[in-house]
Structure 1
Amino acid sequence: MLFIAGLVSQPIDAAFAGGTAATASPTASAELDHAQQLLRDGKYAEAYDLLSPMAEARRGDPAFDYVLGRAALGAGHAEQAKELFQASLAAQPDSPRAHLALGRAYYALGRYAEAKIEFETVLRFDNLPPDLLSQVRIYNDAATQSVEGGRRLTSFGYAETGIGVYDVHDTIGTQTFGGSDRKDTFYNLRVGGGLNYELDNGYALSGTLDYRFRYFDNNDSRDNSDLRWNMAGSRSFGDNNLAVGFRGRVSYRGNGNYRNDAGIYGDYSHRLDAANQLSFELLYSRRWFPGEPVVTWTRTTAQGTAGWIHSFMDGRASLTVDGRFGRYVSTTLPDGNSDLYGASATLDFAFTDTVDWGIYYWWEHNAYDMEALHFHPEALDGVILAQRNDNLHEAGTYLTWEFAPTWSLRPSILWLHDKSNADIGFNYSSTEIFVNVRKSF
């Protein structure tokens, strides 16, 4: 364990090394070194008392402001720590540790949405829970490992399970293929986690794994499993972060068949100010079905997405919106290739430090470019020659309650509605109601 700790640790304030030697007196430098040793020993109040008398004389020194900010945060002076970290970043904006420290100050102040925006100038984690509180706790834990533990390698992990009801609505599609409205009880299992390795000069490597399994009581319903993965390299610079990586998933489709997705992406985020962040992503991916299932819907996707996160209510709430446009090409569908465009929005409120509620909506339109024969969805015995157009809708709401440290309960509702002018099989609607309990590591 000591050997591993040596591999993943580095001097706590290496980002500021040499920043004060030319301007500070030997006595002042010695006191700063002593304060850093006190921080390593967890003696924040002593470090704060040591450095506070020098604060006015050392104003504008990024290393001093950073170390005093850490002492102030550990001693319970979060507002002062926020101001000190902001001053440190104004003089040295490319310091990942100072960005993470500022995010921790926002977190201590309960300004969770602003903390998330700040953390995401450095950290890149996929497959996070939907709620703001859980996301920012994961980021804050990783930031604490980096800033206070001096670790290059930071991590998070989780396991959750629950029970729910899957209700397929009585539509033209279910009338044909299912016969009637159908309800199934199911059980959830989800495990996963992520790693981030801090390199020099703002570079980092990251990766996540997320495995999901669902078991249905009804023998006529297939059990689902889904493995999602992501790995990326990123660089933070100022209020910006640029990442390039690979992501994908392997999904079980029943009867021994699987669906694979894999692609390359580039993602750029820019923090406009404490309350606003813009993001842009380009994705090129391929979907294929190994083996020879009865139905194959292979395709290649090229897609661009632009998003905006806005913090309000003093950082207790966030609004996330995005729009996307792209094209499905090289498909095996008789309908040909397809343009796609869509949008999504999430509104999240952290009512207390342990209770969070959110609501979201996702929509996508697919417009195919070839005419084909289809069963008309409004008439079971009708056949039309048409270009297929689909509208896919997904909406939901959740409530997250942290009832004990690292433990949370999340009841959720998910509504799906797919509408097409083509075959009845493309028209579908369902509701899921479920409750999960989650353990974070």
Structure 2
Amino acid sequence: MMARVKMISQVAALVGGVLCLTALQAETLPSSASAQAARPKSPELIQLELRQNQQAMAEAAARAEAEARAKAEQEASARAEAKARAKQAAREKQLSDATSLMNAGKPADAYALLLPNEFERAGEVRFDYLLGIAALDSGKPDKATLALERVLAVDPNYAGARLDMARAYYQLGDLARAKNEFNLVMKQDPPEAARATIKKYLDAIRAYEEAKKTRFTGYLEGTLGHDSNINGATSQAQIPVPAFGNLVFTLNQSSLETADTYAGFAGGLEVNHLLSPVWGVYAGTDLRTRSHASHREFNNADLAARAGFSYSRNEDVFRFGFMGDQYRFGRGYEPEPYRYGTGFNAEWRHPASPSDQLTLFGQFTQNRFVTTGMTVQDHDLTLMGASWLHVLGNGKSVVYGSFVGGRESAVAPVTSTNPNGGRPDGDKTLFGLRAGSQITWNESWDYLVGVGIQSGKYSRENLAFMAQRSDTTWDLSAGVNWHWDSNWTVRSQLAVSSNKSNIPVYSFDRNDISVGIRRDFK
């Protein structure tokens, strides 16, 4: 038993020794994997590993950059959305505040609130419509039409905007456009309340058009003044006459320049009646008188009458009429007229632009003298000319210019005292230019200035002076008007003129200063 135990112990010791030796060998002998790892790497392997490492780093950086960009874009988008919401809220608040002001009966305040943003928000239907009605209800119909036109350009069927556009045209006095817009709204079948309002406007327009078919205008005017040459005569009392060897003749006092104060009166009436939208007729008369304080022999009165018809096409106006004139001269204007005039005239007025008007005109007049000794002055006058009128930026002041050319044809018959017929100086060819302006300073004051020149040459030699008469006349006028209301005007005026002739008896200078008061009836 003991021997068996001893044997077992010896065997165990032997096995343990073997195991220890094996373990020791395992620690001292390298494995195949370690040996493989201990060998040096090839250059190709090193490059491959380097590229792999760089690619991994780039991918990591790209992921980080993409994540940062996405985060920045999200934050920017959030800020933009917040800003847009704030801007939209401000826009809505402006419209809401303006609407509240309109509802409170403060359209002027609503217009002042909206106006600063008109340029930025023009084209927004809600903004333009609110701006338009605020302008309209605060007395600015011209501004209202601009805003409402933008609304209708976007939405032609916006009945409310079209109705307010019609109201704006009505306030501006453009009744034709107002009527057209009201009728367009009626075709859109508006509510009954709107229809009743439109009907009132259309009735008012119809009543105005009926009244306008026949229109009367008139005026009365009184003047006080001083004229340095009431008879338009020369100041040269002694005239040498070539036909008599330059013998000097002395003119009598009535043929010399005479100064005097005077009182003038003028009045006129005209009626215009429309036969249709394009055809009309007119008639009118004017009376002008002048009475002198000391030299009543030079008192005079001029009565003129006219009648004719007019035709309108688009914005062009054509007029053709007949006229008559009777001029009286003397203390009590004498039993018979001094001169008669009859004839006709025609004109065409064309608006070349909203601020410019061109007028072409022509006239033919037969002038016949009644006073004994003056019948040799009978002549027919033919005139043609053109004028241009320009309205300045304020819409009230104007400048103008014109030219005229014509001929006086001497028609006195041959008699025993006038063996050659016609008048001593023969026919007259004339040409004239004129320019001027009327500047409106404000509602009460305006200023006038005008200058003109006219030349005239006669066809026959004047037998007494052995020369063909040639005259040049110029004139200058300036005045101030004070309007104390729309119908009453006080005018002060200075007129200076001069005629230079190669025949001295016809040369003269003249100065006229006056103050007048006028009442217009419209």
TM-score (structure 2 length as normaliser): 0.55
Matched, 1:301 2:381: yes
Matched, 1:287 2:367: yes
CA distance in 2, matches of 1:322, 1:248: 24
Matched, 1:341 2:445: no
* Match 1:249 to one of 325, 332, 336: 325
Paired position in structure 2 for 1:387:
468
Q: Residues 421 and 349 from structure 1, CA distance in 2 versus in 1: closer, same or farther, beyond 3 angstroms?
A: same
Residue correspondence of structure 1 range 190-229 to structure 2 within 5 A = 190-219=266-295, 221-229=297-305
Paired position in structure 2 for 1:414:
495
Indicate the percent of aligned positions where both proteins have the same amino acid: 19
Residue correspondence of structure 1 range 40-439 to structure 2 within 5 A = 56=151, 71-72=167-168, 75=171, 78=172, 85=177, 147=208, 150-168=211-229, 171-173=234-236, 176-178=251-253, 182-219=258-295, 221-254=297-330, 255=334, 256-290=336-370, 292-294=372-374, 296-331=376-411, 332-374=422-464, 384-422=465-503, 424-439=504-519
Greater relative contact order structure (CA < 8 Å, 6+ sep) = 1
CA distance in 1, matches of 2:270, 2:224: 25
Q: CA deviation at 1:359?
A: 0.7
CA distance in 2, matches of 1:170, 1:201: 50
Q: Residues 333 and 163 from structure 1, CA distance in 2 versus in 1: closer, same or farther, beyond 3 angstroms?
A: same
Deviation digits for residues 126-159 of structure 1 (CA, Å, limit 9, x no counterpart)? xxxxxxxxxxxxxxxxxx9984664310011111
CA distance in 1, matches of 2:462, 2:148: 78
**Counterpart residue type for residue 281 of structure 2:** L
Contact 1:145/1:154, CA 8 A, preserved across alignment: no
CA distance in 1, matches of 2:274, 2:161: 22
**Counterpart residue type for residue 432 of structure 2:** G
Deviation digits for residues 196-220 of structure 1 (CA, Å, limit 9, x no counterpart)? 1011141111122111111111035
Q: Residues 440 and 68 from structure 1, CA distance in 2 versus in 1: closer, same or farther, beyond 3 angstroms?
A: farther
Higher strand share: 1
- Structure ID, larger Rg: 2
Deviation digits for residues 77-126 of structure 1 (CA, Å, limit 9, x no counterpart)? x4xx779949979xxxxxxxxxxxxxxxxxxxxxxxxxxxxxxxxxxxxx
CA distance in 1, matches of 2:405, 2:220: 34
CA RMSD of aligned residues (A): 3.7
Q: CA deviation at 1:309?
A: 0.7
Q: CA deviation at 1:353?
A: 1.2
Q: CA deviation at 1:72?
A: 2.2
CA distance in 2, matches of 1:390, 1:161: 33
Deviation digits for residues 322-348 of structure 1 (CA, Å, limit 9, x no counterpart)? 111121113432111121111111211
Higher helix share: 2
Q: Residues 387 and 313 from structure 1, CA distance in 2 versus in 1: closer, same or farther, beyond 3 angstroms?
A: same
TM-score (structure 1 length as normaliser): 0.65
CA distance in 2, matches of 1:367, 1:145: 55
CA distance in 1, matches of 2:489, 2:428: 41
CA distance in 2, matches of 1:72, 1:270: 27
Secondary structure, counterpart of 1:151 in structure 2? helix
Contact 1:242/1:269, CA 8 A, preserved across alignment: yes
**Counterpart residue type for residue 226 of structure 2:** V
Contact 1:66/1:88, CA 8 A, preserved across alignment: no
